[in-house]
Amino acid sequence: MTTTTITTPAPAQASRAASRSGRSKHFLMCRPEHFEVTYAINPWMDPTTPVDVALALAQWENLRATYERLGHRVDVIEPVEGLPDMVFAANGGIVLDGRAMAARFTHVERQPEGETYRTWFDEAGSTPAVQATNQNEGEGDFLVVGRLILAGTGFRTSVTAHREVSDYFDVPVVPLELVDPRFYHLDTALAVLDESTIAYYPDAFSDASNQTLRERFPDAIIATDADADVLGLNAVSDGLNVVLTDAATGMHEQLRDHGFNPIGVELGELLKAGGSVKCCTLEIRP
């Protein structure tokens, strides 16, 4: 089943929604042709649970079609056999100001993806792409908010990688420490909704990082346990439309209350590898 639910804001929220506007974005995605769960590098993955590739493909195609319907451009990178997690394109790197830095993966199973994504960036971009020298899982752990990058660490991306990214893109980086293994990448615990608005799940972060988040984003949307547990924060926003799992019903409601337009998709097969909407989506910023 691949369903897309587009809900119309109630009249009370309509004025707030009117003040928000979506802008067209450019994404890179990778079809889950070779998707499987044969190893476990996060607590969501259980190699004994069967995966339905046809269903994964249908769910992924629905996500791609949803983006295109919203007016976004989607490029696709050729999937490589033997790299089942390559569908999670967000981890491929960071592209900002037309410059690309490809990932350097933590686990040996995903390491070849770094060079595969670097080659794609190199061929697609006008400036040569580099590959990170430090452990860096791309947009899984680096989320751009306006002219700031929020950077996760604790499970995958290293603190030295934060410095490397800040120097390379000449953008300040705010380090955030993840403490719950279920939320091993920053994009599983925090969603960027526009240039200054985020949603996050406090329990995924250390006390110090919670304080940083509260100070910098006092108006943030706070996710419930139930929404975080279905990766409801693994979302992609264009400033108005927010694409996220349809299972995060509380988050849908909170987004609507804040004038956003939540769009639910079903990505249950990919959740078996610990990924959802944002994981499948890398933003190419010109």
Using CB under 6 A, list all residues that contact ligand ARG. Answer: 41-42, 45, 85, 88, 90-91, 110, 140, 185, 187-188, 273-275, 279
The least CB distance from residue 219 to ligand ARG, in Å, is 25
Q: Between 40 and 159, name the residue whose CB sits nearer to ligand ARG.
A: 40
279 noted as active-site residue: yes
Residues β-bridged to residue 262: 242
Smallest gap, in angstroms, from Cβ of residue 21 to ligand ARG? 26
CB of 16 to ligand ARG, least distance (A): 29
Catalytic one of 72, 162, 258, 279: 279
| DSSP one-letter code for 127 | S
- CA 113 to centroid of chain Cα atoms: 17
Q: In terms of Cα–Cα distance, which of 264, 239, 219, 73 is closest to 144?
A: 239
Collapsing DSSP to helix, strand or coil, 172 comes out as coil
Sign of CA dihedral 282, 255, 212, 194: positive
The smaller minimum CB distance to ligand ARG, of residues 139 and 238, is found at 139
- Residue keyed to tokens 């190699």: 47
Shortest reach from residue 236's CB to ligand ARG, in Å: 11
Q: Cα 157 from chain centroid? A: 14
Set 30, 72, 162, 185: catalytic member: 185
Helix count (H) and strand count (E) of the chain? 8, 16
Q: Compare residues 173 and 267 and give the one whose CB is closer to ligand ARG.
A: 267
Reduced 3-state DSSP string for 182-244 = HHCCHHHCEEECCCCCEEECHHHECHHHHHHHHHHCCCCEECCHHHHHCCCCCCEECCCEEEE
Q: Which two tokens stand for residue 168?
A: 């390379």
- Evaluated on CA atoms 255, 86, 64, 20, the torsion sign reads positive
35 phi/psi in degrees, rounded to 5: -70, 135
96-101-102-105 Cα dihedral, nearest 10 degrees: -110
User: Which lies closer to ligand ARG via its Cβ, residue 9 or residue 161?
Assistant: 161
Q: How far is the CB of 107 from ligand ARG (least distance, A)?
A: 7
Smallest gap from Cβ 122 to ligand ARG, in A, equals 22
First to last CA, the chain: 35
Show which residues are catalytic: 185, 279
